Structure formats: C-alpha cells, structure tokens
Structure 1
Amino acid sequence: MSGEMQYKQAPKDHLKTWAGLIKVSAWTCAGVVLLLVILAITLV
C-alpha cells in the first residue's frame, strides 16, 4: 500500500517542480524582454 501511495504522489511532486521551473523561466524571459524593450526605447 505505501509503495502505491508513494508512486501516486511522485508525479504530483514532479509537476510542482516543473511548474516552478516554468514560472521561473517565464519570469526571467519576461525580464529580459522588458530590459530589451527599455534599451530599445532609450536608444531611439
């Protein structure tokens, strides 16, 4: 029983970590894009 429970909970933990990674990467991408936009505006 305990083995099955651990196996069922594992995917959820993986999803949590993946969601966190995706959020972090998305925010970093947004930050880079914002910086590029600001640079473009200041240069123009």
Structure 2
Amino acid sequence: MKKIHTQTTTTHYALYSNCIEERTKHICFWGLLAFTTRRIYNNKILV
C-alpha cells in the first residue's frame, strides 16, 4: 500500500512541477513579447 502511495505522490509531483514549468515559460514569453512590443511602439512614437 505504501509503495502505491509513494508512486502516486511522485506522479503528482512530476505533473505539478511540469505545470509550474509550463506556466513560467508562458509568463516569460508574454512578458518578453509585451516588453518588445512596448519598445517598438515607443520607438515609433519617438520617430
């Protein structure tokens, strides 16, 4: 019984950490995109 519980916990942890990793990539991507867009937008206003 304990072996099954450990296996389940490990699987849950793997899925959870994978979810965090995806979310972090997502935030980084959109943050970078917004930053780049803002820079281009500001440059167009200045020019």
Instruction: Give the TM-score of the pair, scaled to structure 2.
Output: 0.83
CA RMSD for the aligned pairs? Answer: 0.8
- For the pair shown, which has the larger CA radius of gyration, 1 or 2? 2
Segments of 5+ residues of structure 1 without an aligned counterpart are none
**Percent identity between the aligned chains?**
7
Q: Give the structure 2 partner of residue 19 of structure 1.
A: 22
Where do 4+ consecutive residues of structure 1 move more than 2 Å? Answer: none
Number of matched residues? 44
Instruction: Give the TM-score of the pair, scaled to structure 1.
Output: 0.88
